[in-house]
Amino acid sequence: MNAKEIITELLALRRTPRQAVALMSAGAWALNSSGVSLEKALSETPQKVADILYRAYTEAESDIVWAMSGYNNIVIGAVGGKIKFRLKGTPDVIETLIKEDADIDSINIDKIDRDGRVRFLLETTRLLAKGINGQNYLALTRWGPFTLAGLLYGAENLMRNIYRRPDSVRRLLDFTVDLYLKYARLYIDNGADFFLLAEPTSSGDMIARNHFEAFALPAFKKVFDALREQKVRTALHICGNISDRLDLLNGIGAELVSVDYKVDLAKCREVFDGRTAFAGNMNPVAVMQKESPGGVAEACRASIARAGAGTGFLLMPGCDIPPTTPLANIRAMAGAARNYGGTGAEK
């Protein structure tokens, strides 16, 4: 089996010939491995950047290849928002675009593909898809609708209006669902076939379970329902501790749920076993960046053990790794996975 076939079996909750393993996004790391920042990459040729990404994910032995990850906020710039690049790492939104409800009507999401940076990302994705030639899923990670709403309107304003103006929040979420799907369609047309919604703003550290269920969950379901019609694979990652809402994630349309290091994988097995695949959960800084390769391998073995012997577990860092994470540590993660059978005992 090639890597894509292994992930396909994993998502179907069938046994795999070995333990599946992947990075989560890691676009800044992949580019930094060749001395290129996210901002500098946009001044290179799409072919050069596609080659860098292909080489980085191949060297990392990641079963999933990520299409231009780290550029989550580019779409906000494409619809008129203000963003700023860091020297290393992802660009930030520096000013909210939506101040009041009427501002939504002035945003033209049909012009996204006219943005030069978006066109660059799409062309690089197309070339990367050509390079991997169906051997891996080509995955896209972008902010999901709830986090997009917080970035466009301000996270504090979003949380406040859940209490004060819930209908306004629902209208905003309808808009961000449309924005996400419009953007996703462009990547589907250029070869992306696996979509991960990144949703840090819907973390248990940010929003209560009842509000998560009432506002975030319906927006996720709309996205996953639409993506399923496009016949692409779907995943959800929520940062922080979401132990109190894991049960809500079965049946929403995400084929894979990725969890942070704060979430116990044994609890995930209890909740998701036989229903939804799940992934995680090494600490991206304390383990993946700062540990020795031996320490990484030990942490990975512990994660596999906590996930249990059932099907549907993908070994993966608990979030995006820092750009300076050593390749030796990433390969130690891959090696730890490959020293296990599909979902059985250690070799």
pLDDT in tens, 45-82: 999 999 999 999 999 999 999 999 999 999 999 999 99
pLDDT of residue 218: 97
Which CATH architecture best describes the domain 3-338?
Alpha-Beta Barrel (3.20)
pLDDT of residue 148: 96
Q: Which residues of the chain have pLDDT under 50?
A: 342-347
Task: Tell me the pairing of strands 256-259 and 233-238.
Answer: parallel
pLDDT of residue 91: 87
Q: Is 148 left (phi over 0), alpha (psi -120 to 50) or beta?
A: alpha
pLDDT of residue 89: 66
Query: What tokens were used for 45?
Result: 């040729």
Mean confidence (pLDDT) of the chain: 95
pLDDT in tens, 136-164: 999 999 999 999 999 999 999 999 999 99
Furthest CA-CA distance within the chain: 60
CB 195 within 8 A of CB 184: yes
Preceding omega of 281 cis (within 30 degrees of 0): yes
pLDDT of residue 170: 96
- Exposed/middle/buried for residue 251 (C-beta within 10 Å: 0-12, 13-18, 19+): exposed
Stated as kind and residue range, the H or E segment containing 316 is strand 313-317
pLDDT of residue 205: 87
Helix (H, G, I), strand (E, B) or coil at 65: strand
Q: Of 239, 247, 245, 236, which Cα lies nearest the Cα of 210?
A: 245
Q: pTM value?
A: 0.94
Amino acid in position 309: A
pLDDT of residue 90: 79
pLDDT of residue 347: 40
In angstroms, rounded to a whole number, what is the distance separating the alpha carbons of residues 107 and 31? 32
Task: Tell me the pairing of strands 137-143 and 92-95.
Answer: unpaired
Q: Which residue in this structure is represented by tokens 């292994």?
A: 6
CB 257 within 8 A of CB 272: yes
